[in-house]
Amino acid sequence: MKLTGIELRRVRMPLVAPFRTSFGTATERDVLLVRAVTGEAEGWGECVAMTDPLYSSEYVEAAADVMRRYLVPALADRPPADAVAVAPALRPFKGHRMAKAALETAILDAELRETGRTFARELGATRDRVPCGVSVGITDSVPELLDTVGGYLAEGYVRIKLKIEPGWDVAPVRAVRERYGDDVLLQVDANTAYTVGDASLLAALDPFGLLLIEQPLDEEDILGHVELSRRVRTPICLDESIVSARAAADAIRLGACSIINVKPGRVGGYLESRRIHDVCVANGVPVWCGGMLETGVGRAANVALAALPGFTLPGDTSASDRYFRTDLTEPFVLEDGHLPVPDGPGIGVAPRPEILAEVTTATEWLPLA
């Protein structure tokens, strides 16, 4: 494989409705797409960094800057023979996992398209479709939440995730359980909004039979999660704390969690995501694929990852219309609560040129040859 250049493309995608979490409200996605061009093919990757550094220290402008100034020049100096060589070439640069993930994914997509191999097969997928959950943001009222949840259940989603924060936790969970019953697969996501001092409050969620409580404490508070796991019966799932296979192994060994959410952008790419999957399988820890409001480009790769055998819980791989009226790619459509795994070369999808042209706000070409 011979890379000739990398294109950075910014697109602006309005959301169908505001999405509120404990760290802010999003009304649109400012997306950084990466296009890797070789002599024979082109591949696509999506950087999941947000506009502002609220979910993590990474943000879109910084991701574009580090690619432009450091990461892409490093690939020019040390041309990777394949996608596996990308991470070692970028290792001297600390952090910036979301930027690295987007680059690696685009290069892997191009490599696989050249050879006619699929993303799913390359990662080790064992299924041709995956069950889908949906993430429900914080709403203005409990009645509004109930209407929203009811709509998603009617669409066929097999699992509901409620975003929570102090003051919006026990009451909405109780209301959903009372309205829709104990058979609904239900979990909550705190996005680091609590402290160990809130253990009794989080324990008040135990009677509702939740699948898990996702990332209740600060991402660096691993020992706090160990303590919380001892005081709360509901399984603790780590998200923001898991940045690598090593971090996953350490968290499991310490007893900080019993479930892990894998977000490829957060951990540096899909190859590292596969390593985290393997660590969890070896330790009997269930994993599931989280979402970052991806367009169809990122969603296609996530669906392929979620088809690996250790992904035993429904992920946040929702249909396109959960977030966008018009997706960049052909839309992903829910079928009996599942999404099909793309079976074309590479990630199996590509942006539609006419849609891409409408939403693009800037492009930049970075030659490698």
What are the pLDDT digits (tens) for 97-121?
999 999 999 999 999 999 999 999 9
Same domain, yes or no, for 127 and 261? yes
Same domain, yes or no, for 32 and 72? yes
CA 93 – CA 71 distance, rounded (Å): 8
Same domain, yes or no, for 61 and 172? no
Same domain, yes or no, for 54 and 128? no
What are the pLDDT digits (tens) for 88-97?
999 999 999 9
Specify the number of domains making up the chain. Answer: 2
Q: Please determine, for residue 178, whether its predicted confidence score (pLDDT) is greater than 90.
A: yes
User: Which range of residues forms the domain containing residue 52?
Assistant: 3-116+349-367
Same domain, yes or no, for 12 and 39? yes
Same domain, yes or no, for 237 and 125? yes
Same domain, yes or no, for 131 and 105? no
Same domain, yes or no, for 232 and 87? no
- Which pLDDT value is given to residue 148? 97
- Which pLDDT value is given to residue 1? 81
In this prediction, residues 57-80 reach a mean pLDDT of 96
Catalytic residues: 163, 263
Same domain, yes or no, for 32 and 160? no
- Which pLDDT value is given to residue 19? 87
Cα 324 off chain centre by = 16
**CATH (domain of 83):** 3.30.390.10
Query: Taking each helix axis from N to C terminus, what angle separates 245-254 and 222-231, rounded to the nearest 10 degrees?
Result: 40
Same domain, yes or no, for 143 and 96? no
Rounded to two decimals, the pTM is 0.95
What are the pLDDT digits (tens) for 310-357?
999 999 999 999 999 999 999 999 999 999 999 999 999 999 999 999
Q: Please determine, for residue 369, whether its predicted confidence score (pLDDT) is greater than 80.
A: no
Same domain, yes or no, for 48 and 179? no
Please answer whether residues 303 and 338 qualify as being in contact, where contact means their C-beta atoms are separated by less than 8 angstroms: no
Spell out the residues 6+ positions from residue 361 whose beta carbon is closer than 8 angstroms to its own: 10, 11, 12
**CATH (domain of 320):** 3.20.20.120
Q: Please determine, for residue 154, whether its predicted confidence score (pLDDT) is greater than 90.
A: yes
- Which pLDDT value is given to residue 230? 96
- What is the residue type of 330? E
Q: Please determine, for residue 200, whether its predicted confidence score (pLDDT) is greater than 90.
A: yes
Same domain, yes or no, for 305 and 281? yes
